[in-house]
Amino acid sequence: MARSLRVAPEYIKKVRLALPIKGYATQESLAVSAGLALSTVKNFLSGKPVSYGNFVELSSKLGLDWQEIAHQEPDKQQHPYIITQERSPFITGPPIIHPRYFFGREKELKRLFDLLKRHPLQNAAILGKKRSGKTSLLHYLKNITRTPTVQLRSGQKLDWLPHPSNYQWIFVDFQDPRLGKQQRLLRHILGGLGIAVPTPCDLDNFMDVVSHNLRSPTVILLDEIGAGLQRCLELDDRFWDSLRSLATNYTGGNLAFILASPESPIQLARNTGHSSPFFNIFGYTTTLGALTEAEARELIANSPMLFPPEDVEWILTQSRCFPLLVQILCRERLFSLEDGQIGDSWRQEALQQIQSFTHLL
């Protein structure tokens, strides 16, 4: 059963107070900013259960430590790492949202944060095949610098930015069909910036309010931008021209875009019939491949049950250090150990499980 969490009764007041402090005039503006249903936000604010992912996302939007405000069963309160006891150590499919479960990509992270820690902020494109880890990297960029150390693995670097609390991060998932509507998307961005939505909420007014109000470094993460370009007719060249103009002319170097996609921005624009110069502003591109061997070993070592050394080597060889493949092979090994299986028969099943993702190799 999917894990759900609720705000502990003693924290409900604090959570509600955080709403105006963080610039959310209404519950709806928080819902729009988080890309969640209003009913989820209402449940969250009234101490009713919401899914683990939504709980973490809403807590982070309100600048709150989710572990602090979550209701915990009395017998679990002494354990600092509740996550490891209730969540699988190997996540095989959904993007990694919580930084604790993200491994490697040190080189990419260094370059990306270098572009963001100096003025003017600069744009970047994260490319990679399907399932290579693009969305996970976007979430990590957004979350790592503000995650309390107690929620991280020991030694995980979080001091990437000199003043992380000054930064604003907005995540746009273009696979969410609601964000293909121009007005909805503009509201989503304004909600994330804590800027009041103008009436009407059209492109001209959006440009006006953002250029007048955006004062702190802001990073807009555009995930699966290809879906936005293909499916969303309202996001036309004029829309993309305006975003470029905001970043380059009207926000004093305080606004950057980081996009994730299987294809380069220029190819994407060409393939979808767009000619906006927005797609030329991505001066840094990184293509996600395998983890380094050391990074993959760290992921394998995350297992709560020690793997025999020959299995570790086998996993490294078969996965060629691609994170999804490492995760799947580790999951299979862990299950077989937990079931007390003897011998190597688990390997055959494990190889079958990675069949659908061998395009990564």
Ligand X SMILES: Nc1ncnc2c1ncn2[C@@H]1O[C@H](COP(=O)(O)OP(=O)(O)OP(=O)(O)O)[C@@H](O)[C@H]1O
- Binding interface with ligand X (CB under 6 A): 91-96, 102-105, 128, 130-136, 299, 323-324, 327
- Sign of the Cα torsion 156, 162, 167, 169 reads negative
Query: Nearer to ligand X by C-beta: 187 or 331?
Result: 331
CB of 339 to Mg ion, least distance (A): 31
Query: Nearer to ligand X by C-beta: 130 or 270?
Result: 130
Contact 153, 99 (CB under 8 A): no
Q: List the beta bridge partners of residue 161.
A: none
Distance CA 142, CA 136 (A): 10
For ligand X, which residue has the nearest CB?
A: 133
Total residues binding Mg ion (CB under 5 A): 1
Is 132 a binder of Mg ion (CB under 5 A)? Answer: no
Per-residue burial over 58-80, b if 16 or more Cβ lie within 10 Å, else e, is bbbbbebebbebbeeeeeeeeee
Distance CA 131, CA 358 (A): 10
Distance CA 346, CA 305 (A): 15
Query: Nearer to ligand X by C-beta: 91 or 121?
Result: 91
Contact 170, 193 (CB under 8 A): yes
Contact 16, 45 (CB under 8 A): yes
CB of 19 to ligand X, least distance (A): 30
Contact 174, 261 (CB under 8 A): no
Query: Nearer to ligand X by C-beta: 217 or 323?
Result: 323
Site string for Mg ion, 88-127 (x = CB under 5 A): ----------------------------------------
Query: Nearer to ligand X by C-beta: 299 or 354?
Result: 299
CB of 134 to ligand X, least distance (A): 4
Is 135 a binder of Mg ion (CB under 5 A)? Answer: yes
Query: Which one of Mg ion, ligand X, none is in contact with 130 (Cβ closer than 5 to 8 A by kind)?
Result: ligand X
Query: Nearer to ligand X by C-beta: 94 or 162?
Result: 94
Contact 223, 172 (CB under 8 A): yes
For Mg ion, which residue has the nearest CB?
A: 135
For the record, the structure tokens of 169 come out as: 């991060």
Query: Which one of Mg ion, ligand X, none is in contact with 99 (Cβ closer than 5 to 8 A by kind)?
Result: none
One DSSP character per residue, 51-62 reads: EHHHHHHHHHHT
Among 132-140, 189-197, 279-287, 294-302, which window interacts with Mg ion (CB under 5 A)?
132-140
- Contacts of residue 159, defined as CB under 8 A and 6 or more positions apart, other chains included, come to 145
Query: Which one of ligand X, Mg ion, none is in contact with 105 (Cβ closer than 5 to 8 A by kind)?
Result: ligand X
Residues near Mg ion, by CB under 5 A: 135
